């Protein structure tokens, strides 16, 4: 039997804007999402949020705070994730593509003017009327 995996999304806010990347590959390629990834064995999800932000964007963040969760089923690729969302405090750096096989580019967006199309996890988050600028 298959079980869902646990994913983490790092919501990084700087000057009231949120960082999103244009994804590549078979898992959401062409869609936009904040940095994130899978929780590794024996890893605290808060540590995943900090690690993934650095690995994917080169940004240093800290103080991850849990703010939301989504149940994300990717029917086409037969994947299922429980995604945990953390607002991370921006510390330093400029976003750069650290994993060019997974991301085309990083850009800052106003939450009320996000790019399109969005990754399914973010679509599901928006259905909860979540707004990280208010939550911060």
**Which whole number is the average pLDDT over 12-19?**
97
Q: How many CB atoms lie within 10 A of CB 26?
A: 10
Between CA 130 and CA 126 the distance in angstroms is 6
Angle at 46 between CA 22 and CA 126, to 5 degrees: 45
pLDDT at position 36: 97
pLDDT at position 71: 98
17-75 pLDDT tens trace:
999 999 998 889 999 999 999 999 999 999 999 999 999 999 999 999 999 999 999 98
> Is the dihedral angle over the CA atoms 32, 68, 81, 64 positive or is it negative?
positive
**51 is written with which tokens?**
């690690």
Q: Mind listing the domains of the chain with CATH numbers?
A: 5-131 (3.90.79.10)
Task: Tell me the pLDDT band of 77, cut-offs 50, 70 and 90.
Answer: confident
Angle at 11 between CA 14 and CA 126, to 5 degrees: 115
Q: Cβ distance 87 to 120 under 8 Å? A: no
83-110 pLDDT tens trace:
999 999 999 999 999 999 999 999 999 9
pLDDT at position 16: 95
For 9, residues 6+ apart whose C-beta sits below 8 A from its C-beta are 33, 34, 35, 36, 49, 83, 84, 85, 86, 121, 122, 125
Task: Tell me the pLDDT band of 135, cut-offs 50, 70 and 90.
Answer: low
Backbone φ/ψ region at 80: left (φ over 0), alpha (ψ -120 to 50), beta: beta
């Amino acid at each position: 039997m298959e079980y869902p995996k646990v994913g983490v999304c790092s919501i990084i806010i700087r000057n009231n804007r949120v960082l999103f990347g244009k994804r590549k590959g078979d898992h959401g390629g062409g869609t936009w999402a904040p940095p994130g990834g899978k929780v590794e064995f024996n890893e605290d999800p808060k540590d995943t949020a900090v690690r993934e932000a650095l690995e994917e964007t080169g940004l240093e963040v800290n103080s991850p705070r849990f703010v939301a969760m989504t149940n994300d089923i990717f029917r086409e690729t037969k994947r299922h994730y429980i995604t945990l969302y953390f607002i991370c405090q921006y510390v330093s750096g400029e976003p750069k593509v650290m994993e060019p096989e997974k991301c085309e580019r990083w850009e800052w967006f106003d939450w009320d003017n996000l790019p399109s199309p969005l990754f399914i996890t973010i679509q599901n988050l928006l259905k909860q009327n979540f707004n990280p600028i208010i939550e911060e």
